[in-house]
Amino acid sequence: MKEEELAPPGERASRWILWLIVVSAVVPFLNGLPNGFTYDDKIIIRDNPRLAAPGSALSVFTTHYFGGSLSTGQNYRPVVLLTYAAQRWVHGNRPSLFRAVNIALHALVCLLAYFWILRLGLGNSLAAAASLWFAAAAVHVEAVTSLVGRAEVLAAVLVLASALSWLWATAAERVLRGPYFLCLLFFLLAVFVKESAVVVPGVVLLGEFFRQGRSQGRVRSLMAAVWVRRWWLSGLLFPLFILFVVRLAVLEGFLLSRHAGIFEVENPLVATSAPLRALNGFVLLGRYALTCLFPFDLAADHSAYSLRLLSRGDGLLILLALGAGVAVFLAILAAWRRVPAFSFGLLFFLGTLFPASNIPFPIGTIYAERLVYLPSLGVFLAALSLFQPRGWAVPRLSRVKWGELGVTLLVMVNALVTVNRNRVWKDDTSLFTDMVAKRPGSAKARYNLGYDLYRRQRPDEAARQLETAIEVFPRHYDAFTLLGRIYRERGDLPRSIRAYQKAVEIFPGYERAVLGFSGALMAAGRTQEAERTLRSASLRTPQSAAIASARARHFETTGEWKRAFHEWRRARILDSGSAESRAGLARALQRAGRAAEAREEARWALWKDASKIEARFVLSEIYEEEGKFLPACVELARAWRSDRANPVTLARLNEFLERHPELHARALGKDAGGASGAK
């Protein structure tokens, strides 16, 4: 699509504006490049085994966003996961390069937004001002600087590309099929980047209502212009059909998995009635809009119970909220012809944020700044349209164009706030400390800081934060689970068991709590109770590979190798043959005397993960039993080199060398002395 095709006659995109938009989108975020992996970046990108190699990448299409059990299956986003995977294969886990791609995508969103507004005929000055404000907006830090925020940014790229392709396809009376199918392709990719991209049909339709001054005409002529394209518009439902069919097949549910639920600690609105939830959702829309305009109280967490919500007893506040809703509706109608950009901006904001607003249905979070990434464009358009007089110049004072000066100040202020906010996302410690400072009443913020303190080997401080999280939200199963782990490491098994048990009572399908509970019971010598716990969890969540693996290890501990074999085989099926399940199955097969099958599973495990030392142990034992001592020694040496700090690998290597001293130098070379000398 050529640049001149994107703008209507008399409204050409100037190159200096394009460069200014790119600079405004890139420069404020550059100081965030050195930041590390934070928060969900680790589980989604850095430590995600599905992204490690091309051979395992196809599993992103058969699993939900976070992977693992369907008990947490809320989202399905394979396309954005593939972008992370492709980068990992090229440059490994280098967060600065992941973040550089995010910034580049953000700049592309800003350019597409400029071209789209311009092509709709809302004016060059308004398109430029809104895009510049959007480019530097501080409210976008969570979407751009946080690596997993790419879902928002990439979805915005595809939504706007789809809307622009529609304008291109329908520029003349005859619809161009090439651009139209390109519109459908962008839309299809978008919904598999992030679910909120389902708004594309609404965005396209809104553009039709305001296209080339249509909003200033009669309603009948406006509807007639849209009616002409009705069959082409209905074609936009096809990507939605594909989305819901695939989600039903993978997640076993249209909105979320039938095995999953939305937890009150993440979204307190899930526990309220539908009318009250919708009313609170509308109030939160106002909060989103104010945050876009005044980004001086940004926080990465707003979960239970950091936000003041309306309850049934707040009669006056409910009336005020309803009055505000009526006022917004009337303002949109009043401005429809006189200030169409105002109505367009508000409708764009409300429409693109509606699926994530908790109004139609509850989602996995009550409020998050990343969710307003694309909708914020509507807020900026509406705000700027109110300050767009026929001429900006004030001849008596100077030649200064006050509109341009105002936009410059907006961009500079937002850029400074953005630069400062980027520092918060430096690492988990900075981020979680800021969370608690900004939202001390958030149980999740307290838990996150507690987890970070535990990771930094400060268990006493961690326990205090976790206890505070439980005081705020008594059903915080994650906090009980981590407390159980801390107590166990202290050697306080009774308190550890009680904490784990409480977590399992709150959320019986929570794998981490079940595994910790069974492990604490085993450590206390309560083997039968541990087995009952795992069996109950297996019956409750039969699709859990982690529970199956835990049962298999339990049976290995008790010497029940036949039962261990069956559980490892089930785990291999459930987790699509991960390195862990294949190594476990290889160990069970070897104990059953099925050496050929054990060797095959061990080799598959090493193909999945070359550092899986359990698989090398199995191969070493098989080779030694077959009299192939050199290959056996090589496998042990490789296991030792991959994890030299592990005393088990060193001990097994030294035991082997005691039995076969003739292989000492030949198998290990210059490392042999170090290995045996450390015995």
DSSP, residue by residue, 201-214: HHHHHHHHHHGGGG
DSSP state of 401: B
Compute the distance between CA of residue 550 and CA of residue 20 in angstroms, rounded to an integer: 56
User: Using CB atoms within 10 A of its CB, is residue 177 exposed (0-12), middle (13-18) or buried (19+)?
Assistant: exposed
pLDDT of residue 675 exceeding 70: no
- CA nearest 516: which of 482, 477, 554, 545? 482
Query: 114: which residues sit within 8 A by CB, 6+ positions away?
Result: 13, 17, 18, 21, 127, 128, 130, 131
Compute the distance between CA of residue 289 and CA of residue 291 in angstroms, rounded to an integer: 5
More confident residue, 403 or 194: 194
Residue 75 has which token pair?
């989202």
pLDDT band of residue 402 (cuts 50, 70, 90) is: low
Q: Identify the three-state secondary structure at position 146.
A: coil
pLDDT band of residue 399 (cuts 50, 70, 90) is: very low
More confident residue, 615 or 578: 615
Contact 659, 672 (CB under 8 A): no
pLDDT band of residue 148 (cuts 50, 70, 90) is: very high
pLDDT 10s digits, 226-259: 788 889 999 999 999 999 999 999 998 888 888 7
Exposure on the CB side of residue 108, measured as CA atoms within 13 A: 17
Contact 555, 584 (CB under 8 A): no
Compute the distance between CA of residue 486 and CA of residue 458 in angstroms, rounded to an integer: 10
- H or E segment and range at residue 575: none
Compute the distance between CA of residue 476 and CA of residue 482 in angstroms, rounded to an integer: 10
Q: How much is the pLDDT for 222?
A: 73
Q: How much is the pLDDT for 67?
A: 85
pLDDT band of residue 394 (cuts 50, 70, 90) is: very low
Percent of the chain with pLDDT over 90: 71
- CA nearest 530: which of 513, 510, 514, 552? 514
Compute the distance between CA of residue 475 and CA of residue 468 in angstroms, rounded to an integer: 12
Mean pLDDT, range 448-454, rounded to an integer: 96
Q: Other CB atoms closer than 10 Å to residue 313's CB: what's the count?
A: 7
pLDDT band of residue 212 (cuts 50, 70, 90) is: confident
- CA nearest 278: which of 313, 346, 325? 325
Compute the distance between CA of residue 298 and CA of residue 139 in angstroms, rounded to an integer: 7
Calculate the alpha carbon distances from 388 to 127, 338, 393 in Å: 12, 12, 12
Mean pLDDT, range 390-411, rounded to an integer: 61
Compute the distance between CA of residue 671 and CA of residue 579 in angstroms, rounded to an integer: 27
Compute the distance between CA of residue 496 and CA of residue 501 in angstroms, rounded to an integer: 8
Q: Identify the three-state secondary structure at position 393.
A: strand
Q: How much is the pLDDT for 46?
A: 93
Q: How much is the pLDDT for 390?
A: 42
Compute the distance between CA of residue 155 and CA of residue 159 in angstroms, rounded to an integer: 6
Compute the distance between CA of residue 626 and CA of residue 614 in angstroms, rounded to an integer: 19
Contact 561, 591 (CB under 8 A): yes
Compute the distance between CA of residue 12 and CA of residue 586 in angstroms, rounded to an integer: 66
User: Using CB atoms within 10 A of its CB, is residue 303 exposed (0-12), middle (13-18) or buried (19+)?
Assistant: buried
Q: What is the residue-averaged pLDDT of the chain?
A: 89
Compute the distance between CA of residue 428 and CA of residue 425 in angstroms, rounded to an integer: 7
Compute the distance between CA of residue 281 and CA of residue 12 in angstroms, rounded to an integer: 40
Phi then psi for residue 6, to 5 deg, are -85, -15
- Domain residue ranges of the chain, discontinuous segments joined by +: 3-258+378-421, 270-377, 558-623, 627-679
pLDDT band of residue 577 (cuts 50, 70, 90) is: confident
Q: How much is the pLDDT for 669?
A: 55
Compute the distance between CA of residue 48 and CA of residue 319 in angstroms, rounded to an integer: 48
- CA nearest 255: which of 268, 244, 266, 271? 244
User: Does the domain formed by 558-623 have CATH 1.25.40.10?
Assistant: yes
Q: How much is the pLDDT for 657?
A: 87
Q: How much is the pLDDT for 349?
A: 98
More confident residue, 1 or 172: 172
Report CA Rg, the chain. Answer: 29
- H or E segment and range at residue 337: helix 315-338
Q: Which residue type does 545 have? A: A
pLDDT of residue 285 exceeding 80: yes
Compute the distance between CA of residue 409 and CA of residue 407 in angstroms, rounded to an integer: 5
Mean pLDDT, range 333-339, rounded to an integer: 90
Q: How much is the pLDDT for 205?
A: 94
pLDDT band of residue 5 (cuts 50, 70, 90) is: very low
Q: Which residue type does 279 have? A: L
Query: 240: which residues sit within 8 A by CB, 6+ positions away?
Result: 191, 198, 201
Looking at 507-612, list the stretches that DSSP marks H as alpha helix, in order from N- to C-terminal side: 511-523, 527-540, 545-557, 561-574, 579-591, 595-608
Angle between helices 511-523 and 493-506 (to 10 degrees): 150
